[in-house]
Amino acid sequence: MAGSTFGQLFSVTNFGESHGPAIGCVIDGCPPGLALSVEDIQPDLDRRRPGTSRHVTQRQEADQVEILSGVFEGKTTGTPIALLIRNQDQRSADYGNIAVQFRPGHADYTYWHKYGVRDYRGGGRSSARLTAPMVAAGAVAKKWLNEKFGVEFFGCMTALGNIDIPFQDWDYVHQNPFFAANKDIVPALEEYMDGLRREGDSVGARLMVGATNVPVGLGAPLFDKLDADIAYAMMGVNAVKGVEMGDGFDVVQQRGSQHGDEMPPSGFKSNHAGGVLGGISTGQPVVVHVAIKPTSSIRIPRESMDVHGNAATVETFGRHDPCVGIRATPILEAMLALVLMDHVLLNRAQNADVRVTTPVLHLDSGT
Amino acid sequence: MAGSTFGQLFSVTNFGESHGPAIGCVIDGCPPGLALSVEDIQPDLDRRRPGTSRHVTQRQEADQVEILSGVFEGKTTGTPIALLIRNQDQRSADYGNIAVQFRPGHADYTYWHKYGVRDYRGGGRSSARLTAPMVAAGAVAKKWLNEKFGVEFFGCMTALGNIDIPFQDWDYVHQNPFFAANKDIVPALEEYMDGLRREGDSVGARLMVGATNVPVGLGAPLFDKLDADIAYAMMGVNAVKGVEMGDGFDVVQQRGSQHGDEMPPSGFKSNHAGGVLGGISTGQPVVVHVAIKPTSSIRIPRESMDVHGNAATVETFGRHDPCVGIRATPILEAMLALVLMDHVLLNRAQNADVRVTTPVLHLDSGT
Amino acid sequence: MAGSTFGQLFSVTNFGESHGPAIGCVIDGCPPGLALSVEDIQPDLDRRRPGTSRHVTQRQEADQVEILSGVFEGKTTGTPIALLIRNQDQRSADYGNIAVQFRPGHADYTYWHKYGVRDYRGGGRSSARLTAPMVAAGAVAKKWLNEKFGVEFFGCMTALGNIDIPFQDWDYVHQNPFFAANKDIVPALEEYMDGLRREGDSVGARLMVGATNVPVGLGAPLFDKLDADIAYAMMGVNAVKGVEMGDGFDVVQQRGSQHGDEMPPSGFKSNHAGGVLGGISTGQPVVVHVAIKPTSSIRIPRESMDVHGNAATVETFGRHDPCVGIRATPILEAMLALVLMDHVLLNRAQNADVRVTTPVLHLDSGT
Amino acid sequence: MAGSTFGQLFSVTNFGESHGPAIGCVIDGCPPGLALSVEDIQPDLDRRRPGTSRHVTQRQEADQVEILSGVFEGKTTGTPIALLIRNQDQRSADYGNIAVQFRPGHADYTYWHKYGVRDYRGGGRSSARLTAPMVAAGAVAKKWLNEKFGVEFFGCMTALGNIDIPFQDWDYVHQNPFFAANKDIVPALEEYMDGLRREGDSVGARLMVGATNVPVGLGAPLFDKLDADIAYAMMGVNAVKGVEMGDGFDVVQQRGSQHGDEMPPSGFKSNHAGGVLGGISTGQPVVVHVAIKPTSSIRIPRESMDVHGNAATVETFGRHDPCVGIRATPILEAMLALVLMDHVLLNRAQNADVRVTTPVLHLDSGT
């Protein structure tokens, strides 16, 4: 395929650019009979929306979604669901001074080399704004998965720069702009971000995302592995540079006698695996960790060149997130939901029997 | 697709089980005119082959490949290249005692739940033996990429359990069974593995893999991102639990002013990105890090159950790698080659112009 | 894929229903740099548009297309081109009396059996209205193919019911509502259609469609055959029940000494093949014939049942084409253009060399 | 995909050339638990096999199939089923005199133009010999479809050149080398073929193929239409130039009041549709008609050129079928089985409910 469609059987075709007339997607393969309205989709879009705190880009977008097709009398019909979001606050003028310069660490350089085209308007197709339609599509998947199997999604930021964010309670995630599952650390995070903004710099972040009540048996033993598809989905989100399943890079130092999750008849005793063994879901919670790099659009001057090959000093003003990780939690949840949804449909085709049977025990390694 | 085909335009369909009559693959989409014989493929298979040192499984397999189609008068014809490897040393009897038990951390549990089938013979389809056909296919991709663009692949182990392996020289990689780019550490690694074997335990490892002279412009801005496809390929290799591009999880603590690779007209000053920006190759070396979990088939007794739901204590004898990371370097190289090959063909379709133009500077972050 | 995407590398994802808010498509894989505006697309939509003569449905739709993405500063950027057409004249009330009845010969019966959903509004997703986005996408493909290779598309009606329409001149096609390449027969066709309308019945038609200056070498020897993909595209158009390449069913009675197109160095002496040999284009004109069945929505009472399994006598009023073949020419041209476009991109990937080299001689068998 | 894989969820990847070491395929996506052995596959291969009467090619091939993977303890495991057929009677010498000449009507011309490769050995990849692996794969699909839903396949020749073959009884199909459902016409067919062979010429044929007990609801309303996929499959078989569903080209002259199959609660009264409405199966028998062109390899001299562009007179000796339609019935049945199998799996994914509910009434139009 040509690179704008995600998923095989629950497939989402994404379109639009950051500063074009509109963005959106077409969801093909949604089963018929799901009650669906804008109210099911808008809340996740609102969680991802820019301009909601001083710590994210100040671009004002309502991100109001319109359902163009696929729903009749309040229910999905099995036909494609087209979702449309009109762009509203495209101040392209802001980008005038970087129209011909390449920002170090930014996609503008590679896009230009590939296509021979320079869409200088806020990153064009490479903008993180294109995750909005995925969040909308993910909301549809989440609803279906929840109604059918009780799947619940969770996600939070676990580190911002060099500040680790210890887990306290999922309830806190919705009570601060950082998606931190910790209320005591919020003032430190705010102070840190305020400092960054003053310096005109940016920083990375670490996030955790996962799901519970995932049916056992999703995935395949060779390719179409559930964890491989999750890695593909996560690494495909803007700025992600690392993906871990379960214990991730900690496994390097682990012994087999320590890593393999024991499973007496009473249930798994731990979840080092992160819910996937041999590419197939165990029924335990799926747990993923993700590393997000610092934004490349910063005010601090950087050495670069322009499209003519001349030396250039790049200073990026305009409206940018100083830490793209802050708004990334709903995006990662949506991508995970899309992967799980696709695999449930694949599993139906392959085995026609999707069950939630395994006692669900551990969100993490249990140690 | 049904889950045994890798790649869109250079697509490899894998077949076989660890203890069936044969394993192999069909490569579809190889361009015509490539000089190709068994001699081009066998060396990489030999690097991956079991039984070559006391530190890996003692199963004896010549892994001799036969080319069944797609080559005429010594050259590829553009038709599918079928590669066949007959299994020779299938001592299924070794598995008798675990025929009905689930090994903690092993794919047998999830495979059984998905398909309702129990192929107890050495992991069946979930066995790492199925990476052999991918290594064979990867050798074809490597040859074509090298002839067309001079692409070179590299890979080595960077940590074995808690022993870090500092980089000394690529030449050393071929001189020890661990694929360590370091000659002084080899005795320590041997001693460590000997101890593990005595204990009947296993351990994880960390590997680096990459490529130089990668054409600029491979990948796409949304899905079909080069790094997303690499993450998919790597996470799909048996036992991999984490994947990093370039600086990987280190980006969490980095500032934008530090991470973004400056690029004056004289060339990139560093390679924090690992050769990919916005999902598209920069022309710098592609650099990937991978975490491999400890083998789940160990002698140390573990608490589990059997297919009837009864409690079981599992002790796995038979022939197993105590660290699957040891033989993983050629596998990871092959998977990277397959991803790059597919993207070169995709790029031809999308842009008909694949170039190696960028000064290649840094294998790693340059710091 | 989930069934609403056409094409592998130039892929068109279609959405919408006949009486929903909008219809449209997302074109993914269009090469960058093509000058494109609404003016390039609208003319073909206008050729297909309903309500343009008394011989077609009287539904009034401007079918005005909006380009939502993929074009910047008047040129394609390589990103998805989203095209939107708002529905305007959805008089669903017209369908009230058939909301629960199945029309003999209509898709409503099978759609209901598959999805368990009844979208009684003008055929819902099964409506021929969904060909409008394909015509729009085809216009993009036509423009690119014409600029790159000089490909020209042609099409006409060759029979309406039992009236054969002998070929006179391509110029006439645009001068009558039947797309007849014959001016003298138009009065007979009009009289015939007026009679049909009075009777409340419908009739079938036969059409020819093709292209000249098609590059040699498009297609593949096994699957992805150019003629197989054309057959798929044509049989997928609403109401099509038969597809022929070149001489089609006439080959049954032909001898090999008569059918095989001789090709001295001066060029092909005939085109019985219809431009494809062994699944690959010869460079001669591609020639396709198509049979279109009579519309199933007619006023004449027919024996059927309703969704409850009760007997029903169905008489369909509302606005329907008495011969869907009348507006089908631009649809078939568009589908052919999409197939050729996809194959040109596939060929680039496979061979990177797409040429128009063969002397183009014959539109038909040359006899 | 690269053009050698057929099907999305029950996908068959074909490999080999007419005169290479072996041909075969990999079936991916076969559900687990199907009892399968060589005995299930060989009979269909034997029906297609060359050398079984004087009216077909005299090449001697046992076409003995070996199952390399995917079956354990007599049952499918859900993993890929690799099937291997070694070529035995490759007398490439026979082709010496046409090694550089293009046969009018043959694929050698287009293959050479596409790939720049000349595989003169019996058509190479373009040979009808490559249908053998599809027949083998089709046998697997047939068995599963029959066990699950009672699907039965039928097929016969309905015309050989200008001799129409009226239907008498299905039993006769297996009693003559022509697959004629008529015993009285066999002597005339034999005399006709003997005359053709003496003249060194070839001729076309018309075949019918179909299936009963097809579940209702297979297919999709836009693309992935069942009839479009059937047209793709049939037109993809060597030498096919026309495909009809149900009444096919007869619909051109039909009225809507005559074509639409009435369906009172007691069941369909006819089957003009050929078992598909709006791209989705009705539950009635699927009925397909196919036109097969005369073989292009004939002894009668024909005007052509060679690879150097020089004029050439081509006379093809060697071993060829004077009418490829004679052995085509099992091939068409297999392709239909593969399409239905894929759609059953797709339907499971989309709706998870595949039923055979409709009274099955008519093999043909019922008039």
pLDDT in tens, A12-61: 999 999 889 999 999 999 999 999 999 999 999 998 887 778 887 777 77
How far is the C-alpha of D123 from the C-alpha of A12, rounded, in Å?
A: 41
Q: Say yes or no to pLDDT of B154 above 90.
A: yes
* Cα separation, B166 vs B170, whole angstroms: 11
The per-residue pLDDT for range D267-324, each reduced to its tens digit, is: 899 999 999 999 999 999 999 999 999 998 889 999 999 888 899 998 887 667 889 8
CA nearest neighbour of C297 among C98, C132, C62? C98
Predicted confidence (pLDDT) at residue B18 exceeds the cutoff of 50: yes
Interface confidence (ipTM) of the complex? 0.95
How far is Cα D236 from Cα A15, in angstroms, rounded to an integer? 33
Could you tell me if A67 and A22 are in contact, meaning their C-beta atoms sit under 8 angstroms apart? no
As a whole number of angstroms, the distance between CA D156 and CA B138 comes to 45
Chain B residues within 8 A of D24 when measuring between CB atoms: 68, 82
Map tokens 């989100």 to a residue.
A237
Which chain B residues are closer than 8 Å to C5 by Cβ? none
Of A337, A131, A309, A327, which is closest to residue A218 (Cα–Cα)?
Answer: A337
Q: Per-residue pLDDT averaged across A312-340, rounded?
A: 90
Q: Residue D350: pLDDT above 70?
A: yes
Q: Residue C175 falls within a domain, yes or no?
A: yes
Average pLDDT rounded to a whole number, residues C15-23: 92
Query: Distance, in angstroms, between D53 CA and closest chain C CA?
Result: 21
- Residue A235 CA to residue A332 CA, distance in Å, equals 10
User: E-strand spans in A20-120?
Assistant: 22-28, 65-67, 71-72, 75-76, 81-86
Q: Are B196 and B322 in contact (CB under 8 A)?
A: yes
Segment D120-138 mean pLDDT: 88
Angle ∠(D248,D252,D255) on CA atoms, nearest 5: 110
Burial class (CB within 10 angstroms; exposed 0-12, middle 13-18, buried 19+) of B97: middle
- Amino acid B355 reads R
Q: What 8-state DSSP symbol labels residue C125?
A: G
Residues in chain A: 367
Give the β-pairing of D302-305 and D286-292.
unpaired
Residue of C nearest to B2 (CA): C1
Contacts of D349 in chain A (CB under 8 A): 9, 29, 345-346, 348-349
Task: Look at C36-45, C297-306, D52-61 and tell me which has the smallest mean pLDDT.
Answer: D52-61
Most confident among B355-359, C18-22, D235-239, D309-313 (mean pLDDT):
D235-239
* B46 domain residue, yes or no: yes
pLDDT value at A367 more than 50: no
Q: Is D202 annotated as a binding residue?
A: no
Q: Is the pLDDT of residue D235 over 70?
A: yes
Per-residue pLDDT at C365 exceeds 70:
no
pLDDT tens, residue by residue, B243-259 = 999 999 999 999 999 99
**Which amino acid is it at B235?**
M
User: What is the rounded average pLDDT for all residues in chain D?
Assistant: 89
More confident residue, D332 or A315: D332
Q: pLDDT digit string (tens) for C248-270?
A: 999 999 999 999 999 999 889 99
Residues A290 and A243: beta-carbon distance below 8 Å: yes
Chain C and chain D share a number of CB contacts under 8 A equal to 381
CB D273 within 8 A of CB D202: no
Distance CA A116, CA A100 (A): 13
* CATH code for the domain in which residue D81 is found: 3.60.150.10
Taking each helix axis from N to C end, the angle separating A38-48 and A329-351, rounded to the nearest 10 degrees, works out to: 140
pLDDT (0 to 100) of residue B38 = 97
Task: Name the token pair of B251.
Answer: 């980006």
Cβ A161 vs Cβ A199: under 8 Å: no
C-alpha–C-alpha distance, residues B69 and D184, integer Å: 44
Could you read off the pLDDT of C278-312 as tens digits, one per residue?
999 999 999 999 999 999 889 999 999 988 889 99
Q: Can you count the helices (H) and strands (E) in chain C? A: 7, 16
Band the pLDDT of D97: cuts 50, 70, 90: low
Q: Into how many domains does chain D fold?
A: 1
Pairing assessment for the beta strands D65-67 and D22-28 based on DSSP bridges: unpaired
Instruction: Confirm if D31 and D144 have CB atoms less than 8 A apart.
Output: yes
Cross-chain Cβ contact B1/D77 below 8 Å:
no
**Could you give the CA distance from residue A73 to residue A214 in angstroms, rounded to a whole number?**
30
Using the beta-carbon criterion (under 8 Å), do A352 and D348 form an inter-chain contact?
yes
- The answer to whether residue A359 scores a pLDDT higher than 50 is no
Instruction: Report the pLDDT averaged over residues C45-55.
Output: 82
Q: pLDDT of C93-125, one tens digit each? A: 555 667 788 889 988 888 888 888 777 776 788
Q: What is the mean pLDDT of residues D49-55?
A: 77
**How many Cα atoms are found within 13 Å in the side-chain-facing hemisphere of A243?**
33
State mean pLDDT over B53-68.
Answer: 84
Residue range D154-163: mean pLDDT, rounded: 97
In a domain, D362, yes or no: no
Residue type, A106: H
The span from the CA of A211 to the CA of B101, in Å, is: 28
Measured torsion, CA atoms of residues B23, B29, B35, B39, in degrees rounded to the nearest 10: -20
Does A218 score more than 80 pLDDT? Answer: yes
DSSP E strand boundaries for chain A: 5-6, 11-16, 22-28, 65-67, 71-72, 75-76, 81-86, 152-160, 163-164, 205-212, 240-245, 276-277, 280-281, 286-292, 302-305, 311-314
CA distances D44 to A146, A330, C331, D125, D290, Å, are 46, 54, 40, 21, 20
Q: Do D69 and B26 touch (CB under 8 A)?
A: no
Q: What pLDDT score was predicted for residue C76?
A: 94
The answer to the question of residue C360 being in a domain is no
Contact across the interface for B31 and C78, Cβ inside 8 Å: no
Q: Is residue A239 part of a domain?
A: yes
| Helices B329-351 and B226-235, packing angle to 10 deg | 150
pLDDT digit string, tens, across residues B298-322 = 999 999 998 888 999 988 876 678 8
What per-residue confidence (pLDDT) applies to A170? 94
Whether the Cβ atoms of residue A203 and residue B255 lie closer than 8 Å to each other: yes
Return the pLDDT at D343. Answer: 94
Segment among A169-178, C271-280, D128-137, D301-310 with least mean pLDDT: D301-310
Phi, psi of B113 (to 5 degrees): -70, -35
Residue from the list C9, C346, C350 with its beta carbon closest to the beta carbon of B31: C350
Give pLDDT tens digits for A159-174: 999 999 999 999 999 9
The range of the structural domain enclosing residue D183 comes to 5-351
The Cα-based distances of A202 to A323, B168, B240 in angstroms read 6, 34, 31
C-beta separation of B2 from D10 below 8 A: yes
Q: Are D345 and A349 in contact (CB under 8 A)?
A: yes
pLDDT band at B340 (very low <50, low <70, confident <90, very high): very high
> Per the domain annotation, does A362 fall within a domain?
no
Confidence of residue D94 (pLDDT cuts 50, 70, 90): low
User: Is the pLDDT confidence value at C359 over 60?
Assistant: no
The answer to whether the annotation marks D294 as part of a ligand binding site is: yes
pLDDT value at residue D328: 95
Predicted pLDDT at A366: 41
Cα B83 from chain centroid (whole Å) = 18
Element at B275 (helix H, strand E): none
Our CA-based measurement puts residue A79 at a distance from the nearest CA of chain C, in whole angstroms, of 7
In sequence order, what are the beta bridge partners of D280?
Answer: D219, D277
Chain D hits for A348, CB-CB cut-off 8 Å, are 348-349, 352
Q: How much of chain B exceeds pLDDT 70, in percent?
A: 92
Please compute the mean of the pLDDT values over residues A85-99 and round it to a whole number: 70
Instruction: Give the pLDDT confidence score for residue C320 in this predicted structure.
Output: 73
In a domain, C359, yes or no: no
Does residue C355 have a known ligand-binding role? no
- Percentage of residues in chain A with pLDDT exceeding 70? 92
CA distances C289 to C155, C248, D33, D241, Å, are: 10, 8, 44, 11
User: Average pLDDT, stretch A120-141?
Assistant: 90
Residues of C in contact with B351 (CB under 8 A): 31-32, 78
Q: Classify burial at B171, counting beta carbons within 10 Å of its beta carbon; exposed 0-12, middle 13-18, buried 19 or more.
A: exposed
Asked whether C25 and C133 are in contact (CB, 8 A), the reply is: yes
Write out pLDDT tens, residues C209-237.
999 999 999 998 888 899 999 999 999 99
The per-residue pLDDT for B3 is 86
The strand pair at D311-314 and D302-305 is best described as antiparallel
Please indicate whether, in this complex, the C-beta atoms of C351 and B31 are within 8 angstroms of each other. yes
* pTM to 2 decimal places: 0.95
- CA distance from start to end of chain C: 43
Q: What is the DSSP letter of C53?
A: S
Sequence letter at residue C40:
D
Q: Residue C107, by phi and psi: left (phi above 0), alpha (psi -120 to 50) or beta?
A: alpha
Asked whether residue A213 carries a pLDDT value surpassing 80, the answer given is yes
E strands, B35-128, in order: 65-67, 71-72, 75-76, 81-86
C129-142 confidence digits (pLDDT tens): 999 999 999 999 99
Is B362 among the domain residues? no
Q: What is the pLDDT of residue D19?
A: 85
Kindly determine whether residue D221 and residue A345, on different chains, have CB atoms separated by under 8 Å: no
* A137: enclosing H helix or E strand: helix A131-149
Closest by CA to C14, choosing from C132, C84, C5, is C5
What are C60-82's pLDDT values in tens digits? Answer: 778 899 999 999 999 999 999 99
Q: Which of A259-273, C40-54, C340-354 has the highest mean pLDDT?
A: A259-273
Provide the 3-class DSSP secondary structure of residue D153: strand
Contacts of A268 (CB under 8 A, 6+ apart): A261, A262, A282, A284, A358, A359, A361, A362
Could you tell me which chain A residue has the CA closest to the CA of D343?
Answer: A349
| Residue C4 to residue C275: CA distance in whole angstroms | 28
Residue type, C83: L
Å between A236 CA and nearest CA of chain B: 5
Q: Average pLDDT, stretch B47-74?
A: 85
